[in-house]
Chains A and B, each alone.
Chain A
Amino acid sequence: MTNINVGDKLPTLTLPAIKRSTLALFAGASGDHNPIHIDSDFAKAAGMDDVFAHGMLSMAYLGRMLTNWQPQSKLRKFSNRFLAITQLHDVITCTGEVVDIVNENGELRARIEIFATKAEGTHTLAGVAEVAI
């Protein structure tokens, strides 16, 4: 059994600033071709200031933080709400903290609160994950 305790903090992951090319690459790789993320004309016509990041890009960053910490084969649940839009040039930091140890059908799991946060402190994603320990 891995030595994981309530209060443990996951190693933080800070990403490079979001660029237009980050979004273009993710659009192609993820299959999310919604033009609101890659076409400024379309985004402005839809009432946005400019293109903005896919929520699932930040969720993938949270996933990187989780699998950096424990092997993906131990990941049982992973969820988040999308709270705020991630704009171009934002620098996102992913954090997580073990808040509980739960027993699910005989398997001990660490329950982790996870956040993606902008440099000025706004949470863009908030969620929970469960990792077998």
Chain B
Amino acid sequence: MLDQTKVGYKFPAFNIDVEKGRLKMFAKAIGETNPIYTDEQAAIAAGFKTIPAPPTFPFTIELEGPELLPVLNMLNMDIAKLLHGSQEFEYFDSIYAGDSIEVSSSIVNMFAKKGGALEFVELESSYSNQDAKLVAKATCTLVYRNA
């Protein structure tokens, strides 16, 4: 069983710079063809401040932290047994190329199913920009196969 006493644990917050080149590479990797995601002038013409980060990019910002998924070490999980169960985003403003985003995450829930064969870990994250404006929140449910 994973250590249920870690529910409520807050991971140390960290800051990530959103780089234009990285956004272009991300757009290419997902096959995005809308020029607002790669071309600053097209983004501005469409009413954005500059190139916006696509909707799922906060998850990538989170993975850029000091450690890939720090919850793995915290709960002694083997990455080979990990699945992504669900992912939610809520948006309050755009994330742009050039932003510095502070990520704060915590373990908000843990539970087991199938007699403990599957364990679930729910993480909540908040993303704030350099103006201390909350731009997005996310909830990620990880599934651990205890087989």
Contact = CB atoms under 8 A, between A and B. Distances in A.
Interface of A: 15-16, 22, 25-26, 28-36, 42, 45-47, 54-57, 59-61, 63-64, 66-68, 71-73, 75-82
Nearest to A43: B80
Contact of A64 (B31, B47, B68): B31
Contact of B89 (A26, A47, A78): A78
B32 A64 contact: yes
Interface residues of B, number: 37
A80 B25 contact: no
Interface string B77-105: 00111111111111100100000000000
Nearest to B64: A31
A54 to B, nearest CB: 8
A25 B48 CA distance: 27
Nearest to A13: B31
A101 B63 CA distance: 34
